[in-house]
Each structure stands twice: as C-alpha cells, then as structure tokens.
Amino acid sequence: MRTPFGSAVLDAACRLLVPFVLIFAVYVIAHGHDSPGGGFQGGTILAAAVILIRLVHGQDAIWGLTRVGALRLACGGVAVFAGIGFLSLLFAGNYLDYGVLPLPLETVKVRVMGTLGIEIGVAMAVTGVLVLIFDALTAWGEED
Amino acid sequence: MWENLSGYLNYWLAAVLLLIGLYGMLGRPNLVKKLMAMNILQVAAILFFIALAEKTGATAPIEVKGLHDVSAYVNPLPHALMLTAIVVGVSTTGVALALLIRIHRHFGTLEEPEILERMRL
Amino acid sequence: MKAVTWVVFALAAGVLFYAASDLPRVGDIESPASVHVSPRYIAKSHDETGAPNFVTGVLADYRGYDTLGETTVIFTAGLACLLILGVRLGAGGDDK
C-alpha cells in the first residue's frame, strides 16, 4: 500500500474496532469445538484485522504485522501442524494421532488439546498467507 | 407437481451458477472477468456439495444435548470439505490475481485477443 | 470459433440438467452420501474426539492429514504470490 486511506475518523474507528476483532478471532479459534468456528475462520478474521490496519495506516503502521512477520507466521503455522503430527509419531502413535500425547488428562481430553493445537497452527498459517497475498497484490509500484 | 420438482431445485440452481461461470470463462475476452467467472463456478460447486449434505428436518452438525439420532443432524462431511475448499479458493484467486498483474505489466493489457496479438509479434 | 464455444456450452448445460435428475432428492435421509461414513462421524465424533461440533471433529481429527495438505496448499499459494510478483520482504514496517 503506497497511499493508505489515513484520516482522523478512520484512525479512531480502526483503533476502536481492532481489539474487538482480535478478541472475536481468538474466540472463534478457541471455541471451534463447541460452536461454528475453527482455525480457518478465526485465521481469516485475524487477517481481516491486520488488513484493516494496513488499509488505514499503510505499510508504516506501528502496530500490525510486518511482511517478514507474516511469512514467519505462515511457516510457523505449517510447522506447528506438522510438528504435532511428528510429536505423536514420537510417542509411538500414528501420524496426527493425538491420543498418545503424554498430557496428564484422559484420552479424549488429550485429543481435544491436539485438535486445538492444530487449529492454532491452521489459524497462524491462514493469517500469514492472507496478509502475504494482500501485501503482494498491493505492493506494485513500490520500487519507483 | 411442485412437490416433485422442489427436490431438484437446488441442483438446478447450482447448475445455472456453474453455467454462468462456464460462459464467463469461455465467452468473455477479459481475463479479470474470466477470473470472476471462475469464482462463480467455484461457488456453484460448493453450493452443490452443501445441497448434497442436506437432510429434511435436520439441524446443524453440532451436538445438541440429548439428541443422539443420526438423522437429526445434516451430513458433516461435505461441510468439512467445503470449508477447506473456500480457503483454497481464496488463495488460488490470490495467485491468479498475481499472475494477472504480471501479465498486465508485460503486455500492458488484459484483453485476451490483444495479448494473443502481441504474443505473435 | 464462437459457434464451437456455444456448442460446448449447450452440451454442458444439457449434461448438467440431465444428470441432476439422477441425483438423490435434496433432503433425502437415505441418500448415498448420508449412509456411508457420515453416520459414524455423527454417532461417535463426540465420544472419540471430544468435539461436539462434528465439522471440527471431521476436519481436525478424522481427516487431519487432509487438512495438513490443505494448509500446505494455501502456504504454497502465499509463497507463489510473493515469488510471482517479486515483492521485497524487508520493505514492510520496521522489522530488522
């Protein structure tokens, strides 16, 4: 974004809106077991918050996600997902079989924890990738 | 008559959407319009799968306390598949837009006949 | 050229509307899609995965490998966007 839509009204609205959007995103990710929601949806809402900041403040926003940060988030999300899979391989289970993870809980609760872990990984990957796509599509003409 | 037809209405609507998308991809020369048509086609496929999941009188696939009947919930499998399909659709649209930007930088136009003309030169 | 396009279009339309009449009716409880594996998901998902939301249970637990593939696909799409457009990573923000 070379020219952000910065103005006093947009700035105030953005400051008011973003914390609630973030809280709602965390709720959607964490409550995906009992209600509609999960990693994909929550990650998209998180990316919407970041893109809102990008639209209002442009690339030089003080808070928000940098490009390198978004790339790291995307890589980290896929790594978390695959890592939990390998972790269950390490504890003599099948790949992505969360029931064998050594947590002091009953098996079903351990599965819930494993599912929550990969939902967080998916949400990180989706957030990072959507922010990266937005950045790539709006970065043209930046060099000149 | 209506009773007989209404069971297929969702499929027909999905087919009409798919045909709109197909027409846009085959018949329009502008690449951005082709991309929009591809998105419509994708929505048609998603709606078709969601229509397949439907059961008469069933509720959303989230367990309600005390309701254990299998026919009381719609089929969760197409919902799970389409959830990922939507996100993958968003990212394919992103890649397609990036390619369109490159094409526009290289040829200076997004009209297919003009691009073909310039490729021959 | 145009004529060929319209012939293909008309053929596709005919095939689609003809095929729709062979499908199970919308809302059919006994449709093949609803009697193969999905009763198991609905009946056992809460006990086996701990998720009352069956969609999450199917997405993250029964078909977790599938979801890993999807995540890899969107990750690859993001990287492809960056590489196609040649975006400089360091340009955004104050990251060192």
Tell me whether residue C9 is in a domain: no
* pLDDT recorded at residue C92: 47
Residue B117 identity (one-letter amino acid): E
DSSP bridge pairs for B100: none
Tell me whether residue C60 is in a domain: yes
Contact C28 B56 (CB under 8 A): yes
* pLDDT recorded at residue C96: 37
Average pLDDT in the B31-47 region?
95
Angle at C90 between CA C88 and CA C93, to 5 degrees: 120
Q: Does B83 touch chain A (CB under 8 A)?
A: yes
Percent of chain B topping pLDDT 70 = 99
Integer Cα distance of C61 and A107 in angstroms = 13
Residue B107 identity (one-letter amino acid): F
* pLDDT recorded at residue B70: 85
Mutate to test the interface with C, among B54, B59, B86 (most CBs of C within 10 A): B54
* pLDDT recorded at residue B3: 73
Average pLDDT in the A17-45 region?
92
What ipTM is given for this predicted complex? 0.87
Contact B51 C37 (CB under 8 A): no
Q: Does C61 touch chain B (CB under 8 A)?
A: no
Q: Residue B19 pLDDT > 50, yes or no?
A: yes
Q: Does B16 touch chain A (CB under 8 A)?
A: no
- Burial category of A3 from C-beta neighbours within 10 Å (exposed 0-12, middle 13-18, buried 19 and up): exposed
Tell me whether residue C16 is in a domain: no
For helices B76-107 and B112-120, angle between their N-to-C axes, nearest 10 degrees: 50
Contact A133 C84 (CB under 8 A): no
The count of C-alpha atoms lying within 13 angstroms of the C-alpha of C68, restricted to the half-sphere facing its C-beta, is 19
Q: Does C26 touch chain B (CB under 8 A)?
A: yes
The minimum CA-CA distance between A86 and chain C, rounded to whole Å, is 12
Counted domains in chain C: 1
Tell me whether residue C22 is in a domain: no
CATH of domain B2-120: 1.10.287.3510
Residue A28 phi/psi, 5-degree rounding, is -65, -40
Residue range(s) defining the domain that contains residue C62? 35-86
Q: What is the mean pLDDT of chain A?
A: 87
- Residue in chain A nearest C75 by alpha carbon: A129
Tell me whether residue C78 is in a domain: yes
Residue A2 binned pLDDT confidence (cut-offs 50, 70, 90):
low
B47 to B3, B5, B17, B121: CA distances (angstroms): 21, 18, 9, 44
Residue A139 binned pLDDT confidence (cut-offs 50, 70, 90):
confident
The minimum CA-CA distance between A16 and chain C, rounded to whole Å, is 22
Contacting chains of C (3 CB pairs or more, <8 Å) are A, B
Q: Taking a contact as any Cβ pair under 8 Å apart, which residues of chain B between 18 and 57 contact chain A?
A: none
Nearest beta carbon to residue A40 from set B83, B101, B105: B83
- Residue in chain A nearest B61 by alpha carbon: A36
Domain residue ranges in chain A = 8-138
- pTM attached to this predicted model: 0.89
Average pLDDT in the A91-109 region?
85
* pLDDT recorded at residue C94: 44
- Chain B hits for C12, Cβ within 8 Å: 19, 22
Integer Cα distance of C20 and B7 in angstroms = 10
* pLDDT recorded at residue B67: 84
Mutate to test the interface with B, among A137, A138, A143 (most CBs of B within 10 A): A137
CA A88 remoteness from chain centre: 23
By three-state DSSP, how is residue B59 classified? strand
Nearest beta carbon to residue A136 from set C68, C74, C82: C82
Tell me whether residue C92 is in a domain: no
